Structure 1
Amino acid sequence: MSRRELVPIDETVSCVIVGWDRPLCSYFAHVYLTGDDNEYDAPTHAIGDDFFEVTDPGAVVDMVSTYAKVPDDLIDMLKTDEKNEGRADPPALVAMLSAPLFDTSALPCPF
């Protein structure tokens, strides 16, 4: 997973993060607004949190451009991140998530 923090456009924006998420095979963007007290520090606005949700880095740039200063080469940087990070095999990930859990009840408890 790559992670790039952008410079907020003004004091109403606390943090803007973009990147490539290898397991989800998706670009992502998270925007945190100042004073937003979301539970568990969840982003105020987010895209790219599901399998193949954002396959065009331009969508990330469009989303964050009202919240942060966007470098001219951000799309190229995100494409490079995808190339360097690679892609996971989502069907294998889904199979792992749906596999039966290992029964630990027969294992001795060390404490």
Structure 2
Amino acid sequence: MSRHELAPSDPSITSVFVGWDRALGTYFAHIYCTGDDNPFDMPTLQIGDDFREVSNPHHAIGFVQDYAEVPAHLAATLTADAAHEGTCEAPAVLGILDAAQTPIDLDNVLCPF
């Protein structure tokens, strides 16, 4: 997993992160706003928290561009992160579970990553 912190462009923003999540096979973006009293330290705004949700780094960059200063080389950096880290094939396996005839209790399946 890669994670790059960007400089917020507004004092109402605490922090902004973008990166590549190998396990989910997606680019992601997290925006934390000042004064957000989320007890679980969850991002105020986010994308890329589902399997292969964001396949293009420009979508993650577009999501944060109004909240942070985006370096010109960020898309190339994120693309290199994804190429270097690759993807985990577990999402493909989980995707075919819907076709299984017998219900599978995912609470008792060991996670491969």
Partner-residue secondary structure (3-state), 1:69? coil
Match of 1:91 in 2: 92
Shift of 1:10: 2.0
Per-residue CA deviations over 1:26-74 (Å, capped at 9, x if unaligned) read: 0000000011112301100000000010001111111100110000011
Q: What is the alpha-carbon root mean square deviation over aligned residues?
A: 1.9
Percent identity between the two aligned chains: 47
Structure 2, gaps ≥5 residues long? 98-103
TM-score, normalising length from structure 1?
A: 0.83
Tell me which amino acid in the other structure corresponds to 1:20. Answer: W
Alignment of 1:12-27 (within 5 A): 12-27=12-27
Partner-residue secondary structure (3-state), 1:46? strand
Q: How many residues align?
A: 101
Q: Name segments (4+ residues, structure 1) moved above 6 Å.
A: none
Match of 1:43 in 2: 43
TM-score, normalising length from structure 2?
A: 0.82
Structure 1, gaps ≥5 residues long? 103-111
Larger radius of gyration: 1
